[in-house]
Amino acid sequence: MASLLSTLAPVFATPEDVELRAVVADKLQQVQHPWGELIALQIAIADGRGTPAARTRVRELLAEHVDTFAGPIAKVASTLAKKKCLGFERGFLTSVVLDRRQVPRAAWEAAAKAPQWATVESLQLSVLTTPQWWVAKWARNPAATRSLRRFDVSNALVLERATPADRWTLVRAQPSAVYAGMLRALLPARDLTVAAKVPAKHRAFHGVG
């Protein structure tokens, strides 16, 4: 696993470099690692070169090796198929839904530190099943928000940004101490803009806008 993560490290460091993913795919395919095949197939699909056989093979690879591709995140993601809990593009995680009950603390701890967060663009979590302490620990992982563009807590606290270089916009914020704590954990300095549709009383509760 250490050798695998070393090979993938350049992608996690610069997730926006698509050409680098192709280089990494070649290296992994040389040692017959399934992750290399996934990356190559999904790059082809994203570029419009995908075939029905390629899409079928992608589904097979994800079904068999998702614990490797998603790492510790797979242990805390939702198991509900309708939620599409783990989304992959160009061989790496892009979307995650956390909504699994009775997860051991050790699994949450491992997920918070996972390097696979570096390519995730959308994170949706449930306030009922995700520990509040976990959000603060996850947010301290340098990879956590490297590519993140949408952060959604039970559709009651929602932040969005067009690119990882932009400031966050608070799109929705229910007046709740739990949501306020998660907002502070993600953005301690509250460096964000606030959407006009957020009610004044909700802005006042969270001390923004």
Predicted pLDDT at 197: 94
- What percent of the chain lies above the pLDDT cut of 90? 86
pLDDT, tens digit (0-9, with 9 covering 90-100), for 3-28: 898 999 999 999 999 999 999 999 99
| Mean pLDDT in residue range 56-69 | 95
Whether 2 has a pLDDT exceeding 80, the answer reads: no
| Mean pLDDT in residue range 108-131 | 96
Residue 36 is given by DSSP the state: H
| Mean pLDDT in residue range 48-74 | 95
Cβ 185 vs Cβ 170: under 8 Å: no
Give 35's pLDDT tier (boundaries 50, 70, 90).
Answer: very high
Whether 206 has a pLDDT exceeding 80, the answer reads: yes
The sheet carrying 92-98 orders its strands as: 86-89, 92-98, 122-125, 150-153, 157-160, 168-173, 192-194
> Measured on CA atoms in the order 96, 99, 105, 106, is the torsion positive or negative?
negative
Encoded tokens for 2: 């250490």
Residue 103 sits at the vertex; the CA angle it makes with 101 and 104, to the nearest 5 degrees, is: 155
pTM: 0.93
| Mean pLDDT in residue range 69-93 | 90
Predicted pLDDT at 209: 77
22 to each of 10, 34, 175, how far by Cα in Å?
12, 14, 45
- What are phi and psi for residue 168, nearest 5 degrees? -75, 145
